[in-house]
């Protein structure tokens, strides 16, 4: 346990330095894929599978891991590339949104450490391929291109839910109505979930895909405010940010905001599938106002009411 906690602390520190570790793997095709190591609990040989009658063909069944039943997803088939031959395959156990999933892959390559600055938003043609599951790309020193998957989108398509079910109880809130929020998240699925919540609350929003894009937007507003004798709150009431994003992660975005006096008091709500107390503690250390695990609309609403429902003068002084 001590060794595991030390590894978690080390990787949380990487995020604060705008760096990450990427596990590269293959799906039996020519491409190389990647997932943030922070979300991975272990990589192992494929254990016995318990088939589920009449299940989605992308879900191969259940595997038992230390008494816990975990759904096994054929990742190749889930992104539209056909079924994967299980012979010699590996199982990646990952944790998203407080839930563990198993992903069947053809093979694991290696772990690489890199700066988020080297992670880029993919061109539209790449972004729309693989059922829209590619959220970012990076180029290795040997010129190989790594496609980083939006696992949240994969899981959302495997477990579709109606808007009525997802957003039950989310209605216009007078303390929030009309206020504008800047959203930073590279996942299209996550941005849609957030913005639909904001719309139902009667709020306005602006979308960005990277921490760098969000910070540039805030700096532009701050500069405009200085020229027109306005504060940042005349442009946005707060920021909702993911942790994992190309170019600049959410921790680095938070640090940059807190270092700029023109953005003083701006509420920052970190909204991430990276669950765990270590992430919350890291965020608090850097100045995050609050933390919400994806995706719980009522929790996000409650945090927005708590931190953005105040009058503007109270926000500036907080």
Strands 180-184 and 204-208, how do they pair? parallel
163-317 CATH pick, 3.40.50.2300, 3.60.15.10, 3.40.50.300, 3.30.160.20: 3.40.50.2300
Please, where in the chain does CATH 3.40.50.2300 lie?
163-317
Element (H, E) at 108: strand 107-115
Q: What is the pTM of this model?
A: 0.84
Predicted confidence at residue 127, as pLDDT, reads 80
* pLDDT score for 156: 85
pLDDT of residue 15: 54
Per-residue pLDDT tens digits for 186-236: 988 899 999 999 999 999 999 999 999 999 999 999 999 999 999 999 999
Strands in 90-96's sheet, in edge-to-edge order, are: 40-45, 90-96, 99-105, 68-74, 59-65
Dist. CA 71–CA 74, nearest whole Å: 10
The pLDDT of residue 290: 95
pLDDT for the residue 111: 92
The top-level CATH class assigned to 12-158 is mainly beta
Residue with tokens 């929790």: 299
Residue 242 corresponds to which tokens in the numbers above? 């993911």
Nearest to 131 by CA among 91, 55, 75, 202: 75
DSSP label of 89: -
What's the token pair of residue 161?
A: 């839910």
Structure confidence at residue 1 (pLDDT):
36
Q: In what order do the strands lie in the sheet with 107-115?
A: 107-115, 19-26, 32-36, 145-149, 134-139
Rounded average pLDDT per 10-residue block, the chain, 318 residues: 42 62 93 89 92 92 92 95 91 85 94 91 85 90 91 85 87 95 93 95 97 97 96 97 92 96 96 72 88 90 92 50
Domain with CATH 2.40.50.180 in the chain: 12-158
Res 18: pLDDT: 79
- Strands of 204-208's sheet, edge to edge? 204-208, 180-184, 238-241, 268-272, 290-293
Radius of gyration of the chain (CA): 20
pLDDT score, position 59:
94
Q: Which stretch of DSSP H or E encloses residue 71?
A: strand 68-74
* Closest C-alpha among 34, 39, 9 to residue 273: 39
DSSP β-bridge partners for residue 71: 62
């Amino acid at each position: 346990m001590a060794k595991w906690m030390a590894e978690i602390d080390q990787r949380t520190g990487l995020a604060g330095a705008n760096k990450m570790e990427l596990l590269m793997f293959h799906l039996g095709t020519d491409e190389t894929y990647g997932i943030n190591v922070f979300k991975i609990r272990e990589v192992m040989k494929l254990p016995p599978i318990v088939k589920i009658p009449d299940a989605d063909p992308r879900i191969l069944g259940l595997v038992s891991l230390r008494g816990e039943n975990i759904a096994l997803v054929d990742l190749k088939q889930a992104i539209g590339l056909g079924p994967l031959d299980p012979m010699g395959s590996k199982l990646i156990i990952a944790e998203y949104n407080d839930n563990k999933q198993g992903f069947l892959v053809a093979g694991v390559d290696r772990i690489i450490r890199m700066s988020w600055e080297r992670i880029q938003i993919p061109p539209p043609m790449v972004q729309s391929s693989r059922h829209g599951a590619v959220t970012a790309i990076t180029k290795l020193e040997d010129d190989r291109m790594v496609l980083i998957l939006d696992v949240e989108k994969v899981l959302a398509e495997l477990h579709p839910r109606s808007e009525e079910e997802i957003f039950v109880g989310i209605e216009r809130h007078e303390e929030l109505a009309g206020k504008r929020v800047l959203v930073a998240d590279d996942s299209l699925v996550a941005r849609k979930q957030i913005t639909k919540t904001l719309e139902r609350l009667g709020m306005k929003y602006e979308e960005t895909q990277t921490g760098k894009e969000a910070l540039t937007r805030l700096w532009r507003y701050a500069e405009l405010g200085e020229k027109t004798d306005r504060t940042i709150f005349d442009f946005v009431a707060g920021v909702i940010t993911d942790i994992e994003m190309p170019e600049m992660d959410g921790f680095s975005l938070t640090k940059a905001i807190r270092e700029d006096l023109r953005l003083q008091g701006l509420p920052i709500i970190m909204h991430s599938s990276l669950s765990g107390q270590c992430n919350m503690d890291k965020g608090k250390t850097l100045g995050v106002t609050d933390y919400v695990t994806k995706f719980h609309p009522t929790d996000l609403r409650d945090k927005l009411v708590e931190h953005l429902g105040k009058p503007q003068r109270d926000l500036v002084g907080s």
